[in-house]
Amino acid sequence: MSLSPFIADMYQLFAYGQKYFKGAGELFLIYPEHTGFTAPLPLFEFDDDLKLWVVPFELKEGVIVYNEYKPKWLRGATVTS
């Protein structure tokens, strides 16, 4: 996964988190799954209150790929295609 778009996306999501979540919440960045990106990245914490999840989306099955790094709002949710 190339870091250039990822870093630009991180900056943008940080700005969104500050503006729309008042600096406290969880953000979700979804990229298409590919051979170099098949599992979620470890949780990124901008600070104690603002966190970023970076996860792959499996295009063939139409599902978000996640593991133990499951955001609060997705815990207990049923994902269907």
3-state secondary structure 18-52: HHHCCCCEEEEEEEECECCECCCCCCEECCCCEEE
How many residues comprise the chain? 81
- What is the three-class DSSP state of 46? coil
Per-residue pLDDT of the chain (81 residues; tens, 9 = 90+): 556 667 889 899 999 999 999 999 989 888 898 888 888 888 899 999 999 988 888 888 777 776 665 666 565 555 443
Report the run of H or E that residue 61 belongs to, with start and end: none
* pTM score of the predicted model: 0.72
